[in-house]
Structure 1
């Protein structure tokens, strides 16, 4: 049983031994290639004789042989004395799993009674199939250590071969029944979003896209307190950074991005109460934001869900990056801008705010005692939630569909807004200024500020409001460096040498060159051909290359030094 599996499988040979018929066929996508799988059914009886109907995908191979956890004599005596029935007999040799059950089947077989802890630290998990031995031993043992490492070099090689065949074609993350199920979930999340979003005088208010298991989310209060102590301890050695951290909280409180939780609020029963730990991320290269406070929605107690686990991530609502960049290069006057603190401009409805609580101190000069700790909660969508990109994109899309219906500018924004970066263009200064004013008005209707405007037209740059002008002279457009005065994009890429050359280091060096438009393909082709040859020769990821191949790669990689490749219109 696998709590992380989304599908259930049975080995073909095992299914054939029991003469299980194939009732259907479907196509699944494994990494980058689709494959046909037969579907069979199986009736499984639990220890009480109840039957469970399983729907399984037939597969030639599930995983390698797995060693069972070692039970010391004291543990065996404990099991015998308490009359505990294990899910399977103990074997001295490794066992080859024949059936893998996905997460929903797993919970169908779990029993709602407490687990047992053996003297060794191993745990007995109660299921309808008997107790399962799990966990780690707390005592040091003289038995040889065993580690399970399953490799699939053949599958990796096939995947890479298919990648070369599909590199220029469109692919979907899911196919067949899995794709249909994912699409149904996305449709449901979108429908609930559109039914719950509210437009008020100060902007749009949204709900968090909860999954059905949201009630299992713990409050994480002790994690948040421990992280707060660590953050303060770290910042105590850098007073300017501590003061900046404190200013961010005070600024967000003043702007209404967060609000203080009073004792009266704390005593009121809420739908979900959850505390988010936080830490600083320094961004010195950014012109506008040198420090960010990042909130950790992935923090969790052992064997408990985090906030992101109980939220739907939602569908990806992004236009094609390559298409945006191509249109950007086609305009006579390309214009870039971004939305100021975009995620924090989407309001969170009151019912969900207590799921985004956080802690700070009233006085940074005093220790984090209970009297000095203050509890806040977000009134806006928090950056760090897996659903934040979906909520931002869906809110903007909702506004464009309902408030700018029929507007050509609204459609242009929808096709060229990548998260919070807007890349549009014009054929004259007059058209550029018209689009500037219209786009500003549209985002003002969203209670958002479009700023950091920059184009290749100096007259346009000087005409727009000072507060909207970008202060940088070397911007990046979706990660690509742009020289606005010459209107050229600049690509750079060098491959650093390593003492040990393996297939992994070659792959990492090749992937380090960012080239979304494929302009550097002729330069990178020898390196790509070399990497493909390593797959054909079946080199494993971390096996050092032969001296001959290592020398060959050093010649190729040192020859790739793209310092200032510019395109010109």
Structure 2
């Protein structure tokens, strides 16, 4: 990490403070599920230059098919099918027609990372948001067209020191944390991807999906997760006179110190 990036971790600029305020005012809850709905952080002035990436997505997908064994492809497919069943992603019934009707869409290429020694996630699908079809100023990647937001995570040594000053210690592990956050409808058109229709049936025809939740691998995903935690634990909680509740809330404020 260079000096500039290191400095950014400790300074909350006025620009980032304004961004945080805007995000907090824009967060809402989905009336059906109660989940938070957050906006993707696109750079509005260059968002229209985002590459469609359809041909790139097809090329990377076919490359994965050639490289991976049938067993690996089935593991890969299982992750995607689980996300479909959980409502994380949504099938596009006719993606060629969808492309014609929505010329501003963009696809994410992806690959799989396998960790045989992991006790939990053996296969993780990683979306390649740094890639675009053509490397020029009129065909930008998702990363180039998005904002990372402020770095709201304390360094480990700072967090360890802060833990000494509170009575209570709150720890938690959110299962598939990014995927707990819903995206706005208009943002999902920029987060499409391709997969095979039915690997278990040896059907390798290509179909389209789009994300309904915040995907792993986007520049803004860590920022949105921290903002959502702050919104849930502090910003949207009414005052409570109970001493223990106030103490626990104090721990949350210390944990999220860079937001406040």
Tell whether the 8 Å contact from 2:9 to 2:151 is kept in structure 1 after alignment.
no
User: 1:397 — aligned with what?
Assistant: 230
User: 1:381 — aligned with what?
Assistant: 214
Distance change >3 Å, CA 412–CA 329, structure 1 → 2: closer
1:197 is matched with which residue: 9, 13, 27?
A: 27
Q: Alpha-carbon deviation of 1:233?
A: 1.0
Mapped partners of 1:409, 1:320: distance in 2: 21
Larger proportion of helix: 2
Instruction: Normalising by structure 2, report the TM-score.
Output: 0.81
> Is the counterpart of residue 283 in structure 1 residue 115 in structure 2?
yes
Distance change >3 Å, CA 416–CA 229, structure 1 → 2: same
**3-state SS of 2:148 partner:** coil
Distance change >3 Å, CA 32–CA 260, structure 1 → 2: closer
Larger proportion of strand: 1
Mapped partners of 2:9, 2:75: distance in 1: 44
Distance change >3 Å, CA 280–CA 317, structure 1 → 2: same
Cα shift readout 1:410-453 (whole Å, capped 9, x = no counterpart)? 331343479xxxxxxxxxxxxxxxxxxxxxxxxxxxxxxxxxxx
Tell whether the 8 Å contact from 2:197 to 2:203 is kept in structure 1 after alignment.
no
User: 1:317 — aligned with what?
Assistant: 152
Mapped partners of 2:48, 2:215: distance in 1: 20
Cα shift readout 1:485-519 (whole Å, capped 9, x = no counterpart)? xxxxxxxxxxxxxxxxxxxxxxxxxxxxxxxxxxx
Q: Alpha-carbon deviation of 1:274?
A: 0.8
Larger radius of gyration: 1
> Is the counterpart of residue 346 in structure 1 residue 162 in structure 2?
no
**3-state SS of 2:189 partner:** helix
Mapped partners of 2:98, 2:76: distance in 1: 26
**3-state SS of 1:344 partner:** helix
User: 1:262 — aligned with what?
Assistant: 93
Mapped partners of 1:174, 1:290: distance in 2: 32
Correspondences of 1:94-105 after superposition (within 5 Å): none
Correspondences of 1:382-531 after superposition (within 5 Å): 382-406=215-239, 407-416=246-255
Tell whether the 8 Å contact from 2:192 to 2:210 is kept in structure 1 after alignment.
yes
Tell whether the 8 Å contact from 2:129 to 2:217 is kept in structure 1 after alignment.
yes
Mapped partners of 1:302, 1:246: distance in 2: 30
Mapped partners of 1:334, 1:218: distance in 2: 45
Q: Alpha-carbon deviation of 1:388?
A: 0.5
Tell whether the 8 Å contact from 1:193 to 1:209 is kept in structure 2 after alignment.
no
Tell whether the 8 Å contact from 2:230 to 2:256 is kept in structure 1 after alignment.
no
Mapped partners of 2:98, 2:78: distance in 1: 25
Q: Alpha-carbon deviation of 1:282?
A: 1.7
Q: Alpha-carbon deviation of 1:241?
A: 1.6
Tell whether the 8 Å contact from 2:234 to 2:252 is kept in structure 1 after alignment.
no
**3-state SS of 2:75 partner:** helix
Mapped partners of 2:253, 2:75: distance in 1: 36
Q: Alpha-carbon deviation of 1:219?
A: 0.5
User: 1:67 — aligned with what?
Assistant: none
Distance change >3 Å, CA 282–CA 335, structure 1 → 2: farther
Correspondences of 1:543-554 after superposition (within 5 Å): none
Correspondences of 1:58-457 after superposition (within 5 Å): 172-173=7-8, 183-201=13-31, 202=33, 203-211=35-43, 212-235=45-68, 238-263=69-94, 265-269=98-102, 272-300=104-132, 301-303=134-136, 304-326=139-161, 336-364=171-199, 365-366=201-202, 368=204, 372-406=205-239, 407-416=246-255
Distance change >3 Å, CA 330–CA 249, structure 1 → 2: same
Q: Alpha-carbon deviation of 1:381?
A: 0.4
Distance change >3 Å, CA 410–CA 404, structure 1 → 2: farther
Runs (4+) of structure 1 exceeding 6 A deviation are: 329-335
Q: Alpha-carbon deviation of 1:186?
A: 1.7
Tell whether the 8 Å contact from 1:220 to 1:276 is kept in structure 2 after alignment.
yes
Tell whether the 8 Å contact from 1:319 to 1:415 is kept in structure 2 after alignment.
no
Tell whether the 8 Å contact from 1:308 to 1:385 is kept in structure 2 after alignment.
yes
Tell whether the 8 Å contact from 1:404 to 1:410 is kept in structure 2 after alignment.
no
Which structure exhibits the higher relative contact order, with contacts defined as CA atoms closer than 8 Å and separated by 6 or more residues?
2
